[in-house]
Amino acid sequence: MLMPWINVDTENSGDIDLYYEDHGEGKPVVLIHGWPLSGRSWERQVSVLLEAGYRVITYDRRGFGESSRPTTGYDYDTFAGDLDLIMTELELCDAALVGFSMGTGEVARYLSIYGSDRVERAAFIASVPPYLLKAQDNPTGVEGEVFDEIRSAIVMDRPAYLTKFFNDFYNVDVLGGDRVSEEAVRFSWYIAVGASPVGTLECVTAWATDFRNDLQQVQMPTLIIHGDADRVLPIAATGIPLHETLEGSRFVVIEGGPHGVIWTHAERVNHELLEFLGESATSTETPATGPA
């Protein structure tokens, strides 16, 4: 019987192990969490996917959740390598990769490096790709100074920064008490504050990764879900150009959706995800938008 950790590397005298959960039967769906959370952030998706007959795998990125907290490896080549070890160790085939936020970068880089032999389709929810950093050839991106300010705030007072972050993550000023409770926000904060301080900081640099070449290797059915009120990863900088890059992708815009749509708009996200997963692998993907 497999233990719920997979060894991916070592640092000095210590092992680097990733915590994972593997439940259900059927086609595998691998859920890859966002920053600075863990696999527990998929709470509102896991039970629905299990009820629909899927095998559901969640895991905690290195430095986060129950996984080891090394001081190295917080780049997308390493993250993709970690994912590949999970896919290989669990012998996953015909899988769907579903990334949220930072986890969408793992999806893009994994498919670019390791190919699609084990993967049938991919979903990008509140995406980081194609390229978050503003540049001469990427005018809709985010100014580099924003990343500098985030790093400075984390170094100065990480717990306080996380409070502000989750207010914007869930658009608490608009959706608090309606689509997200104070307790749910606090739940996210507790997960995040327990993460590696080094990993939390270093991942900010990884956000500026250019995935545009990686996405050229994505030749499979793809789903993109993005809230049009996302304050963390604005749809104009990420979701829209991603849809334009991935020809034939199904694009779902959630009206009023914040960054954390997997919680605030879980019913809509789950509906779209199940519909996408249930489609024939040979079906034609078509764009779609609509209200929550």
Question: Is the alpha carbon torsion for 181, 34, 154, 187 positive or negative?
Answer: positive
Pairing of strands 95-100, 250-254: unpaired
Q: Please tell me which residue in 33, 226, 243, 259 is annotated as part of the active site.
A: 259
Answer yes or no: 259 catalytic: yes
Answer yes or no: 196 catalytic: no
| Overall size of the chain counted in residues | 292
DSSP state of 42: G
Residue listed under structure tokens 């050839």: 137
Answer yes or no: 75 catalytic: no
173 by Cβ neighbours in 10 Å (0-12 / 13-18 / 19+) ranks as exposed
Q: Please tell me which residue in 68, 226, 230, 249 is annotated as part of the active site.
A: 230
Structural element, H or E, at residue 46: helix 43-51
Q: Please tell me which residue in 68, 101, 112, 188 is annotated as part of the active site.
A: 101
- In terms of phi and psi (left: phi > 0; alpha: psi -120 to 50; beta: otherwise), the region of 95 is beta
Do residues 257 and 228 make contact, with C-beta atoms less than 8 angstroms apart? Answer: yes
| 94 to 125, 161, 279: CA distances (angstroms) | 20, 40, 13
Do residues 180 and 172 make contact, with C-beta atoms less than 8 angstroms apart? Answer: yes
Q: Give catalytic residue positions.
A: 101, 230, 259
